[in-house]
Amino acid sequence: MRILLIGAGGVGGAFAAIAARRDFFEAIVIADYDAARAERAAAVDARFTAARVDASDPESVAALCREHRITHVMNAVDPRFVMPIFDGALAAGADYLDMAMSLSKRHPEDPYRKVGLKLGDEQFAKSGEWEAAGRLALVGIGVEPGLSNVLARYAADELFDHIDELGTRDGANLAVHDEHGNEIFAPSFSIWTTIEECLNPPVIWERSRQDVDGGWYTTEPFSEPEVFDFPEGIGPVECVNVEHEEVLMMPRWLEADRVTFKYGLGEEFIGVLRTLNTLGLDRTDKVRVGGVEVAPRDVVAAVLPDPATIGPIMTGKTCAGVWVRGTGKDGQPRSTYLYHVVDNEWSMAEYGHQCVVWQTAINPVIALELLARGDWSGAGVLGPETMPPKPFLDLLGEYGSPWGQMEVAAKE
Amino acid sequence: MRILLIGAGGVGGAFAAIAARRDFFEAIVIADYDAARAERAAAVDARFTAARVDASDPESVAALCREHRITHVMNAVDPRFVMPIFDGALAAGADYLDMAMSLSKRHPEDPYRKVGLKLGDEQFAKSGEWEAAGRLALVGIGVEPGLSNVLARYAADELFDHIDELGTRDGANLAVHDEHGNEIFAPSFSIWTTIEECLNPPVIWERSRQDVDGGWYTTEPFSEPEVFDFPEGIGPVECVNVEHEEVLMMPRWLEADRVTFKYGLGEEFIGVLRTLNTLGLDRTDKVRVGGVEVAPRDVVAAVLPDPATIGPIMTGKTCAGVWVRGTGKDGQPRSTYLYHVVDNEWSMAEYGHQCVVWQTAINPVIALELLARGDWSGAGVLGPETMPPKPFLDLLGEYGSPWGQMEVAAKE
């Protein structure tokens, strides 16, 4: 296996650090628009080399694949570049993995009730081409989507006879402090992606609505607030509906009546996102400022601390998982949360990477190891819930970061 | 009188429209960095001509003064340019007026308790030079500071024996709606200046603290929230301490135990300002964004509607004034609000300018008329409270926009 890792940012760097401890691959070419950043990430292992790539150009991606005889392209840049990397991999005859899918476009007339172009639609539209070429695009294989989809498949296979709802729930008790001990505002994940996720109309899937738009519909941002009590000391966090890939992926392959995604943003963060939206600072089109042109959202990203650098000043744990409600194998009502928690102190001490990016990056490393072994395989554009979940969950434990499971009191 | 108006933005444009109806001057040269904008503002009256100026360069200002035999320089640009315009006017032997004073710098160690360089300090430091030259710098002669200082002097002269507090209070019930009737976020005054005022440590003056820093001290932003019930249908608005020139001016010339400024920002606006500060989007130093460099605060200003253009879609009234508490001429406790209200519908219909910029611009026109008549005169760096208030307040009525007065129920 010869891997091309595109993107040497927070997640790409953590991917390289995790992969460096495994022996399932022959080589990894780490490519970034910023060649110096790629070189820093490549310095940790003799099997790594660095390259420069323009991720917006499928030809640049394909040329790099051919030059290095790449078998698997690992996309670790922001989702604006999904399509050129996805197309470049296929053009070069490589398999492909990503952690976020092609972007959505809101419904032009009724954006807060109806779906427009959905997350992943552009990729799923090309599934036939990938199947015909005998190549696999394993999409959405980060932590969410990714591990959440694996856990949902596990619940469907092993724990439930009937599923009422597959509800991905993400929460944390992370805090970042400056050198004087004052808490500062420093999101632990790409603010560009977070704004995209949180201000787009959240999407929900319901079986009962399948005759309209296939069952998918949208709501206003931050809808259906709910306090979810996260495990391992994180505690209760306010969660709201957010547009996320799981809702577009799980209903294609798993049986459930309803599929949702709620993110534990917390009140302060919701307030910040609302304000950015109110002022137009979430805009991605360029505005003229004095003599230059700049996209306001890029300015927001530029003034905030780089998520890849806040690890040493961050404390707390992050939790990803899926809350499954329905009828258990014993015919009784069941409500179970299957989850994965990472403590920032542990990931910093063990890998030197902060917990949120580390938790994202471990999943594609495991997936690639399963593909190398032949435990996972396939052709077409497929999600992690199409693959057997047990070998994945076993490897998670072997990598030193096991998953967990808890029963959740039912509530209305 | 030959006036050089520097700045053809919202306030400069309204100044020109108001002055066009008066005959106390011979000529106004309207100068702006953007020559086209100056030409548009100059088109309304045969006595107006347009010019280009670099307000950051005292020589550019002085040269324009000499070329046009200017007697009075009227500064209507943002306060970053106070010192070069102020210096340029003196160099050319012209009198000078502004509506905001030279900027403050926070105390390096204890910014939320002690003053550093105060608003106007750089100008007051040169008062001797202006006196020696026999020239007048009439500073802070907009609405606040400006009319508020005139009203404070009137209260001290005519209504009170002893003043416990001179408290400037500013509030409005303005709203801006888009073409679909949805309320939008559109501040009615320069967001650059509003951020500067509201996020700097608010300053308060107390006679009892005169032995430390002359009686001036600072607090955390948005301190001492208080609901003030504004007249003429505006109603109750939450007001908080804000750094403002009145607090630095009034104690120099008027007798009072305490001088404050509170701005009726309202909860939503305070939330927006806090968020901009938390994220660092209020920063005025440039940050690198992709291939360009830009100051985040300039980006915020660029994405918001231009305050000069929102008049037609704005509704409501704005109120400026001073709440005076103390002992009346009859020896009894007295609590009186002296104020000036402008209805946006009226200012748009009558002048084609929105009420907030119109209310700012009328005051320097009146001041210049009083200087032309000889009713006001002086040399040095002086505030409006050094001049007789009655002729000013009379002209306000003659211009069609009279002031008002109401007793306020005492409260703790």
Per-residue pLDDT for B272 more than 50?
yes
Q: Are the CB atoms for A165 and A335 separated by under 8 Å?
A: no
Asked whether residue B48 carries a pLDDT value surpassing 80, the answer given is: yes
Q: pLDDT per residue over B147-164, tens digit each? A: 999 999 999 999 999 999
B280: nearest CA partner in chain A:
A303
Contact: B287, A272; criterion CB under 8 Å: no
**Contacts with A182 (C-beta within 8 Å, 6 or more apart), sequence order:** none
Q: Please judge whether A303 and B288 are an interchain contact, meaning their C-beta atoms are less than 8 angstroms apart.
A: no
State the average pLDDT over residues A20-46: 96
Q: What radius of gyration do chain A's Cα atoms show?
A: 20
Backbone angles phi, psi at A263, to 5 degrees: -115, 130
On the 0-12 / 13-18 / 19+ scale of CB atoms within 10 A, A231 is middle
**CB B293 to CB A290 under 8 A?**
no
Q: B304–A279: do the CB atoms touch at under 8 Å?
A: yes
Alpha-carbon span B63 to B71, nearest angstrom = 13
Residue of B nearest to A272 (CA): B275
pLDDT > 90 in chain A, percent: 88
**Yes or no, beta carbons of A292 and B288 under 8 Å apart:** no
Write out chain B residues lying below 8 Å of A275, CB-based. Answer: 271-272, 275-276
Q: Helix axis angle, A389-398 relative to A355-373, nearest 10°?
A: 120
The alpha carbon of residue A281 is apart from the nearest alpha carbon of chain B, in Å, by: 7
> Is the pLDDT confidence value at A411 over 70?
no
Residue A49 region by backbone torsions, left for phi larger than 0, else alpha for psi between -120 and 50, else beta: beta
Residues of B in contact with A304 (CB under 8 A): 279-280
Instruction: Give pLDDT tens digits for B77-103.
Output: 989 999 999 999 999 999 999 999 999
> Which of A289, A293, A297, A298 should be substituted to probe chain B, the one whose Cβ sees the most B Cβ atoms within 10 Å?
A289
Query: Of A176-180, B34-38, B227-231, where does mean pLDDT reach its minimum?
Result: A176-180
CA torsion through residues A149, A155, A158, A160, sign: negative
Both tokens of residue B214? Answer: 């002359």
Among B352, B314, B336, B380, which Cα is nearest to B151's? B336
Name every chain B residue with its beta carbon within 8 A of the beta carbon of A280.
Answer: 303-304
Give A279's contacts in chain B (Cβ within 8 Å): 185, 272, 300, 303-304
- CA–CA min distance A298, chain B (Å): 7
Mutation choice for A interface testing from B33, B182, B289 by most A CBs within 10 A: B289
Calpha distance A288→A291 (Å, rounded): 7
Distance from CA of B301 to the nearest CA of A (A): 9
Place A66 in a pLDDT band, splitting at 50, 70 and 90: very high
Cα–Cα separations (whole angstroms), residue A50 to A90, A91, A208 = 22, 22, 50
Tell me if A185 and B278 make a contact (CB, 8 A cut-off).
yes
Query: What is the structure's pLDDT at B412?
Result: 46
Residue B411 predicted with pLDDT over 80: no
Q: Which of B185, B288, B298 sits opposite A289 (nearest CB)?
A: B298
Q: Which residue bears the tokens 């091309």?
A: A4
pLDDT of residue A410: 64
Residue range B348-376: mean pLDDT, rounded: 96
Token digits of residue A132: 């015909």
Task: Collect all residues of chain A within an 8 Å Cβ-Cβ radius of residue B289.
Answer: 294-295, 298-299, 302
**Stretch A179-188: mean pLDDT, rounded?**
86
In chain A, whose CA is at the least distance from the CA of B302?
A289
Residue A132 pLDDT: 98
Give how far B109 is from chain A: nearest CA, Å.
Answer: 14
pLDDT digits (tens, 9 = 90+) for A388-408: 999 999 999 999 999 999 999
What is the Cα–Cα distance from A273 to A304, expressed in whole angstroms?
14
Contact residues on chain A for B304, CB-CB shorter than 8 A: 279-280
List the single residue in A with minimal CA-CA distance to B290.
A298
Q: How many CB pairs under 8 A join A and B?
A: 69
What mean pLDDT do residues A58-85 have?
A: 97
Q: Which amino acid makes up residue B360?
A: T
**CB-hemisphere CA count at 13 Å for A201?**
22
Angle between helices B245-253 and B147-154 (to 10 degrees): 30
Name every residue whose Cβ is closer than 8 Å to that of residue B291 and which is 6 or more positions away in sequence.
none
**Where are the strands (E) in B62-156, listed by range?**
72-75, 95-97, 136-138
Distance CA B219, CA B111 (A): 8
Tell me what the pLDDT averaged over chain B comes to: 95
**Are B6 and B89 within 8 A, CB to CB?**
no
Mean pLDDT (whole number) for A126-148: 98
Q: Closest to B302 (Cβ–Cβ): which among A185, A271, A288? A: A288
Residue of A nearest to B273 (CA): A275
Residue B194 pLDDT: 87
Domains and CATH numbers, chain A: 147-353+402-407 (3.30.360.10)
- Cβ <8 Å between B278 and A303: no
Over range A84-97, report the average pLDDT: 98
Cβ-based neighbours of B205, under 8 Å, separated by 6 or more:
B215, B216, B247, B248, B250, B251, B258, B259, B260
B-chain residues within 8 Å CB-CB of A176?
Answer: none
What pLDDT is stored for residue A308 in this prediction? 76
pLDDT band at A380 (very low <50, low <70, confident <90, very high): very high
Candidates B294, B300, B304, partner chain A, best to mutate (most A CBs within 10 A): B294
CA dist., res. A401 & res. A355, Å (int): 11
Residue in chain A closest to B184 (alpha carbons) equals: A278
Q: From the list B272, B280, B289, which residue is nearest A294 (CB)?
A: B289
Maximum separation of any 2 CA atoms in chain B, in Å: 68
Chain B residues with beta carbon closer than 8 angstroms to that of A302: 287-289
Q: In this structure, how many other beta carbons lie within 10 angstroms of the beta carbon of residue B377?
A: 13
**Using one digit for the tens of pLDDT, what is the confidence trace for A101-117?**
999 999 999 999 999 99
| Minimal C-alpha gap between B379 and chain A (Å) | 38
Q: State the smallest CA–CA distance between residue A185 and chain B in angstroms.
A: 6
End-to-end CA distance of chain B, in Å?
A: 49
Chain B residue whose CA is closest to A182: B278
Residue B28 reports pLDDT greater than 50: yes
pLDDT band at A412 (very low <50, low <70, confident <90, very high): very low
